[in-house]
A and B are shown apart, each in its own frame.
Chain A
Amino acid sequence: MSVAEARTAVRPRSSRIVPLLVFAITIALIVATPFLPNYYVRVVNSLLIYILLGIGLNIVIGYTGLLDLGFVAFYAVGAYTYALLASPQFDLHLPFLLILVIAACLGAITGILLGIPVLRLRGDYLAIVTLGFGEIIRIIINNLDWLTGGPQGIARLDKASILGLQIARPVDFFWLLLVVVVVAGVVAWRLEHSILGKAWAAIREDQDAARGVGINTTNAKLAAFATSATIGSIAGAIFGASQRFVSPESFTLQESVLIVLMIVVGGIGNILGIVAGAAILILLPEVLREFAEWRILFLGLLMIFLIIVRPAGIVPRSFGPEKLIRGLFGK
């Protein structure tokens, strides 16, 4: 009783402080990044790409409750779309924005194509099969030398530019990624709160009962796979453009697992959680760079610790972006 009372007594103040703090840190980071050395800007860019991937995968895992371990396939589709359409490989040099659109479409199509065979699967079975799909795509890329350059990958990708404005330096990509992450985040968040998002949640809670209230679960799930894959593919295209080199090595199972971990550690189903999860799993290894071999051990321990003390993630589902915004304005 007294604990509960104490909590409610503290809440009004702390619910204001946390959002303000988060907001201040975010703004400070954004403002400071362009002035950091290139190395650090690249780290921030990598963070943003993972946040983008997390936002995409979260639609399937967090909103719809389907454990997809093959997400990296869509990331690869986007990266190779850019590599094939803007490089000496086939001497194609399409504009960056056009490629983004193509990558988005191809992502949606592969999302649906890989989604159809797994519609009936859930839980562990789904995880295993999607894991297989991810690997299949990587192995295909590895072996289709004439198309993808095989294990060597594709190098010398074009410099990206948007309407004549060149996007080449890490800072340029920082701004581009920031815009894309914000747009993707807002879209995902609005989707979550749309009628489709509620259907996703219903499927997550009880698929059969969802059908019982008239939800065409096939369509709703395919919509989730498609939007999720679209975001993954866009992330891939930007990744390709920023590296100006792609090879199968970037699209291993490890990447898929890392993104899933980000979501689980950060807070499944919550975009704020994904940001937190990405910050920990992407930035911490950088901070711990000096302790090379100890890094994995330390991360493992941290993960176990977090899962014990915060089983619902660092930022649980109940503390969504709307709460943060409301907190900011003190409502």
Chain B
Amino acid sequence: MTLVFQSLRKEYGEVVAIDDVSTAFAPGMIHGVIGPNGAGKSTLINMTAGSYTVSSGSITLDGKRLDKLKKYQIANSGIARTYQNIRLFDQMTVIENLEVCFYPAEVAGTWKEVVWPPYATARRQRRREKCMEILRFFDLQGYAEVDAGGLPYGRQRMLEIARALICNPRVLLLDEPAAGLNHHETADLTAKLTALRSPDRIMIVVEHDMDLVMTLCDSIIVMHHGKLLFRGTPAEVQASADVQLAYLGTANDIDDIRAAAQDRRAQLGIRTRRRS
């Protein structure tokens, strides 16, 4: 199982948000996506999850094209996500936010639920047990019957991840899960995400918190102006002059950055060993 981006491109009118990105994500690993604001990280997530269409190129999971599917079909192919700006079902309770994810599997029995209460009760109970299990993992069990919109911010972030996880997705896409969390909450989140690493799951985490990224991720891609600037392990990323320059933001064009980096290395007398 691999998630593959092939010559991926996204334009918003004149703006090229993603420019010829090709890469692959293996299961069992946590992949970090970093880069300055506007680099196109969220756009990558949005295209993978089907929230945005793909301008050209393709996204495949296990050789199956995803970019031609509708958003709900992509979700049902085992791809789950969170949003950079939290999007919960605010006026539904915490547990209902999770229960509703069973819709694709259970909707066929709706009329049986309506006319045969014992069936509805049994099914509901089974559903809620699974939900409670996930809620316990995220320390949300005490909030099950509270409206999601009324949760404290940090809890909402957790609930959104829980909602993404409830149907055991093959691909988990997290867009800045630590944004707005305090130090303590971020540490907690890091521990939880580490525990979610699974050989059957591809995890992709967009994040600005470098501590979290460096601790959590096995592999990191660096985006800059819609291009894939660098890919490597946390150590390699930290060592990369390209990346440092991109974050310092002195030059806009990726080629300028490369050239500038080359110059700097030359000045410092460093011999470069290029990846990708």
- Residues of chain A at the chain B interface (Cβ within 8 Å): 187, 190-191, 193-196, 198-199, 201-202, 204-206, 208-217, 219-220, 223, 317
Contact = CB atoms under 8 A, between A and B. Distances in A.
Interface in B62-105: 70-72, 75-76, 80-81, 83, 87-92, 96, 99-104
A213 B75 CA distance: 6
Contacts of B114: 187, 190-191, 194
Contacts of B81: 212
Given A194-B113, A198-B92, A201-B100, A212 B49 contact: yes
Given A205-B92, A223-B110, 13 more contacts: A194-B120, A201-B92, A205-B89, A208-B71, A212-B49, A212-B75, A212-B80, A212-B81, A215-B100, A215-B104, A216-B104, A217-B72, A317-B91
B51 A208 contact: yes
B107 interface: yes
Contacts of B104: 214-216
Contacts of B139: none
Given A198-B100, A206-B87, A215 B72 contact: yes
A214 B89 contact: no
Given A213-B100, A215-B72, A199 B107 contact: yes
A204 B76 CA distance: 20
B44 to A, nearest CB: 16
A213 B87 contact: no
B71 A205 contact: no
A195 B89 contact: no
A194 B102 CA distance: 11
B92 A214 contact: no
Contacts of A212: 49, 51, 71-72, 75, 80-81, 87
A209 B71 contact: no
A120 to B, nearest CB: 13
Q: Which 9 pairs from chain A and chain B are nearest by CB?
A: A214-B75, A205-B89, A211-B71, A198-B100, A214-B104, A196-B110, A209-B87, A194-B113, A214-B76
Nearest to B96: A198
A214 B167 contact: yes
A212 to B, nearest CB: 6
Contacts of B87: 206, 208-209, 212
Contacts of A199: 100, 103, 107
Contacts of A187: 114
Contact of A206 (B89, B106, B113): B89
Nearest to B147: A318
Contact of B72 (A201, A204, A206, A214): A214
Contacts of B75: 211-214
Nearest to B114: A190
A211 B113 CA distance: 23
B175 to A, nearest CB: 12
Nearest to B148: A205
Interface in B222-265: none
15 contacts: A194-B114, A194-B120, A195-B106, A196-B103, A196-B110, A198-B96, A199-B103, A209-B83, A211-B50, A211-B75, A213-B80, A213-B163, A214-B76, A214-B101, A220-B107
A201 B93 CA distance: 11
Contacts of A211: 50, 70-72, 75
Contacts of A202: 89, 92, 100, 103
Contact of B110 (A191, A204, A208, A216): A191
A198 B123 CA distance: 14
Interface hub of B51, B83, B114 (most chain A Cβ within 10 A):
B114
Nearest to B71: A211
Nearest to A186: B114
Given A208-B51, A214-B167, A201 B71 contact: no
A190 B72 contact: no
B107 A209 contact: no
A219 B109 CA distance: 14
A213 B88 CA distance: 11
B47 to A, nearest CB: 13
B107 A196 contact: yes
Nearest to A201: B92
A231 to B, nearest CB: 13
B91 A205 contact: yes
Contacts of B99: 195, 198
Contact of A195 (B50, B90, B102, B117): B102
Nearest to A190: B114
Nearest to B116: A190
Contacts of A220: 103, 107
Contacts of A214: 72, 75-76, 101, 103-104, 167
Nearest to B127: A195
Given A194-B114, A194-B120, A216 B72 contact: yes
A208 B120 CA distance: 27
Nearest to B163: A213
A254 to B, nearest CB: 30
A194 B100 CA distance: 10
Contacts of A194: 110, 113-114, 120
Interface in B128-179: 163, 167
